[in-house]
Amino acid sequence: MPSLRLVESEPGQSRYGALAAAMRSRIIAGEWPPGSAIPAEQALAAEHGVALGTMRRALDLLAEQGLVERSHGRGTFVRQGLSGATMLRFFRFGAAGEQAPQSRILAREALAAPAEVARVLAIGPGEQALRLKRLRTVGGQPALLEEIWLPLPLFAPLTGGDPAGWGDLLYPFYAERCGVHVQRAVDTIGFGRLGAVQARALRLAAGHPCARVQRQAFDLAGRCVEWRTTLGDANAFHYTVAIT
């Protein structure tokens, strides 16, 4: 017997909007894990006692928001986390052509989060966090230097083991090892100059101009799960924006 699951929409809220919100909650609650299919439109429409078209609009909304992915003939799926290599979108490292980038963990340390990190990660000041330093190379040449902060109870599985075997993409790795799916990110681009230590790691001169990309990454529930600062040669930076 199909228990009818009615959604009440506040005045001023459309029914498909309320349905989308309800589905969103169920997804965040983990009723359908990332990568799995949610029930067919027909089934969901019947379950909520609405017309097919109304449920379709709700699902289309979730698709626009990047929460689910629709695939003609196959079904509607909860989106997996971001694939990964998105950091190199901001830089063009010549010559090397399309060589696969590599990455190496330079340092890993569990620390009490400094005030700014705690604020950005939305954890209590002084709570434990994991700090990584990472060097990305393209065609064997140092290209990007990263400092990454991760909230600690959540990323505990990364405090042990040899980082040499972590592979080149972190986000799929977060999912596999910690069950954390990065679903959305916000990058802020700025400009600066390299400090002496940073310059050495990138094989550039101290004081060399650099582009700085600071990223907050969020999971399905909207929690900030990563705070990353990436530095690279300012001359290699390029980015294109469409304006409408």
Q: Which of 204, 215, 193 is nearest to 142 (CA)?
A: 204
- Positions 180 through 219 that interact with a copy of itself (CB under 8 A): 183-192, 209, 211
Query: Can residue 16 be called a binding residue for DNA (CB under 7 A)?
Result: yes
Residues in contact with a copy of itself, counted by CB under 8 A, come to a total of 26
Write out the DSSP string of 23-54: HHHHHHTTSS-TTSEEPPHHHHHHHHT--HHH
Q: Find how far residue 124's CA is from the centre of its chain.
A: 22
DSSP state letter for 220: T
Contact by Cβ (8 Å): 130, 158: yes
Question: Which residues partner with 211 through β-bridges?
Answer: 191, 232
Output the smallest distance, CB 209 to a copy of itself, in A.
5
Determine if 36 is a binding residue for DNA (CB under 7 A). no
- For DNA, which stretch binds (CB under 7 A), given 15-23, 102-110, 157-165, 190-198? 15-23
User: How many of the chain's residues bind DNA (CB under 7 A)?
Assistant: 27
**Among 54, 102, 128, 235, which residue interacts with a copy of itself (rule: CB under 8 A)?**
235
Q: What are phi and psi of 44, to 5 degrees?
A: -65, -40
Choice between 3 and 244, CB closer to a copy of itself: 244
Which residues lie near DNA (CB under 7 A)?
Answer: 9, 12, 14-17, 38-43, 50-54, 56-57, 60, 70-76
